[in-house]
Structure 1
Amino acid sequence: MAKSKIPVYDIYGIIPGHTQQDLLLSRFAPYVREHRHLHTQHGHSFYHLVLFTKGAGEHTIDFDRFTVQPYQVYFMAPGQVHSWHFNGDMEGYLVHFSPAFFQSFLADQHYLDRFGFFRGISKEAVLQIPAAMRKDAVALFENMLAELEQPREGGLDMIRMYLLQFFMQVERCCGNAEKQQVPRQKQLLLANFQQLINKHYNTIRLPREYAELLYITPNHLNALCQDLVGRTAGEMIRDRVLLEAKRLLVNEALTITEIAYALNFQDNSYFNRFFRKNTGMTPEAFRKQIHH
């Protein structure tokens, strides 16, 4: 399909002339002033996080809306889409880093998968930093900025350590305590399932087919999903198809028929029934709501 959908930025293209390999770190206020496209839906091919220290407004991640509050932090995994609508001046910190940024530093290539806020589930990725942690959180970001402003040997590794420290502190204070006790093997299996869905949602719709790819039984897969995310495997597949449908509907250049075809539905009416059953509105109504 030739027509474009939501724009997806890479870590170099989002800022003209940016050359820092695999990392972008900035205070939030100047970043917002320079990037007026933030109010429109867009995606990233990199990990992305923001710690707000001042400001108000609203931001939307994968069509879930959140009210901006001071000392709120939100995380995005590659592939998610979002838009921001701010009221007044904004302050805080922003970090972009590529999937490769930690790969040369950590022996465990799946280390970031242990953090619930990087699973790509928007409602688990927006967290409020408690008062007792705020001073330390700000200090970590200031230390990271200092490493960029006064480059020294090992500076990027220091930034990696500060980031990991921040991730672990957030997970300890704000993460789901029950999920933190989930065995590593189960976390990896769920992450692999989510990766397979992202890769094959357009062609594979049955849980048993994903179970075969994971070398487990359908019952095992379903129990895993219910235990870790409170959803069946079928619901997770359906949710991913629905999310892509919403992303495509943002692009007014695409007709509903073209979107149905792109998502591998048998016909336009089948797609309409699917969308309405799961959202309570037609694709046309959703599109009008988004562009209202």
Structure 2
Amino acid sequence: MALATPIPRYHLYGENDPVEDFDFFHIETIRTRSKPHGWSLGAHSHAHLFQMLMITQGAGHLVDDTGEREISPKMAVFNPAGAVHGWTFTPDTQGYVVSFSHDYLGGREENRAEAERSALHAASNLVFELEREDLRRLTFCLEEMAEEFGNGRRRRDMFRPLLSLALVLIFSKKADAGELDRTPGFSLFRFRALVDEHFRTQRSPDFYATEMGLTTQRLNRYCRLFAERTAAQSIRDRVILEARRLIAFSDLSISQVAYDLGYEDPAYFSRVFRKETGEAPADFRARHAV
């Protein structure tokens, strides 16, 4: 019996995953990526990148594990990291695709807007039907980001507010209505929210399973199903993400970062960081120095 072909996992479609997606932001037109592939992008996922897509002209079809959905210019689509999705577009399609990593929004979880948290914890592809005014404002955000990006400028202080506003425009009503709670994979949504709240002090999957009313075995099953990671790996990923963020963007010493993340021994923290990222904290800081 022939083995099933695994669903490819890309950085951007057709590009292999880089070693690291830290602090990543990218925007391009739908045409740029889709036309060379015959306006059809097969089922795939992105390990570390979240994507937001909006069509301004033409039409498309989103294919995922729930089936096929038609996407029109009055809609926006959000694909969370790890979610499988594929696209077909009509040749006259225009619009934008924004890709960004979890850490790009910056800041601590408790300081993020509710819509940003909803986006970062989403566990399945989401389709939003926009009202006229929200559609106009979202189009403005995407056009501004695309123009800035296309001119070769990478001004984080411009992209981040526009990206944040775009997420608020598409997520706020859905979050208010409680629809995110009913998406498949909500157990993973809850798990990630708990990890964001407690990762500095709680590293055991047993703690999170108890908080969610699950067995540790079932929590691991959810994590493998929706994130292709064990619960312990997901917790460790969150700790290392915060370590990267603090090392790259704060004035804390490496020892202070270690203590902030709950490590009693900075040397042990440095060994863990090197094992997970492939480089020492000081080298990582030097490489990301502005």
Q: Please indicate the TM-score interval, normalised by the length of the shorter structure.
A: 0.5 to 0.7
Per-residue deviation at 1:242? Answer: 9.8
2:8 is matched with 7
Per-residue deviation at 1:240? Answer: 7.3
Per-residue deviation at 1:180? Answer: 9.1
What is the alpha-carbon distance in structure 2 between the residues aligned to residue 217 and residue 118 of structure 1? 15
1:48 and 2:51 correspond: yes
The equivalent position to 2:92 in structure 1, one of 84, 89, 93, is 89
Query: Is the 2:58–2:90 Cα contact (8 Å) retained in structure 1?
Result: yes
2:279 is matched with none
1:135 and 2:144 correspond: no
SS in 2 for 1:6: coil
1:143-292 → structure 2 map (5 Å cutoff): 143-151=144-152, 155-172=155-172, 174-179=173-178, 191-193=189-191, 212-216=207-211, 218=213, 241=225
What is the alpha-carbon distance in structure 1 between the residues aligned to residue 191 and residue 8 of structure 2? 26
What is the alpha-carbon distance in structure 2 between the residues aligned to residue 8 and residue 57 of structure 1? 21
Segments of structure 1 that go 5 or more residues without pairing to the other structure are: 183-187, 197-208, 223-233, 245-292
Residue type of the alignment partner of 2:161: M
Distance 1:14 1:235, change over 3 A: same
Distance 1:179 1:29, change over 3 A: same
Name the stretch that deviates more: 31-40 or 80-89. Answer: 31-40
Normalised by the length of structure 2, the TM-score is 0.56
Distance 1:35 1:22, change over 3 A: farther
Q: How many residues align?
A: 207
1:113-124 → structure 2 map (5 Å cutoff): 114-115=117-118, 119-122=122-125
1:249 is matched with none
Per-residue deviation at 1:239? Answer: 11
Per-residue deviation at 1:159? Answer: 0.6
Per-residue deviation at 1:66? Answer: 0.9
Normalised by the length of structure 1, the TM-score is 0.56
Distance 1:59 1:3, change over 3 A: closer
1:32 is matched with 34
Distance 1:240 1:61, change over 3 A: farther
Query: Is the 2:174–2:180 Cα contact (8 Å) retained in structure 1?
Result: no
Q: For residues 27-79 of structure 1, what are the alpha-carbon distances to aligned partners after superposition, in whole Å with 9 as ceiling and x for unaligned?
A: 22222113448432111121111011112242112343211211211011111
Distance 1:71 1:20, change over 3 A: farther
What is the alpha-carbon distance in structure 1 between the residues aligned to residue 38 and residue 177 of structure 2? 40
Residue type of the alignment partner of 1:191: F
Residue type of the alignment partner of 1:177: D
Segments of structure 2 that go 5 or more residues without pairing to the other structure are: 195-203, 229-290
Distance 1:165 1:146, change over 3 A: same
1:287 is matched with none
Q: For residues 139-163 of structure 1, what are the alpha-carbon distances to aligned partners after superposition, in whole Å with 9 as ceiling and x for unaligned?
A: 11111122223455x7122111100
What is the alpha-carbon distance in structure 1 between the residues aligned to residue 91 and residue 137 of structure 2? 26
RMSD of aligned Cα (Å):
4.5
What is the alpha-carbon distance in structure 2 between the residues aligned to residue 20 and residue 243 of structure 1? 18
1:76 is matched with 79
**Identity across matched positions, percent:** 20
What is the alpha-carbon distance in structure 2 between the residues aligned to residue 195 and residue 107 of structure 1? 12
Query: Is the 1:52–1:70 Cα contact (8 Å) retained in structure 2?
Result: yes
Residue type of the alignment partner of 1:97: F
- Runs of 4+ in structure 1 off by over 4 angstroms are 109-113, 209-212, 234-244
Query: Is the 1:11–1:23 Cα contact (8 Å) retained in structure 2?
Result: no
Per-residue deviation at 1:235? Answer: 11
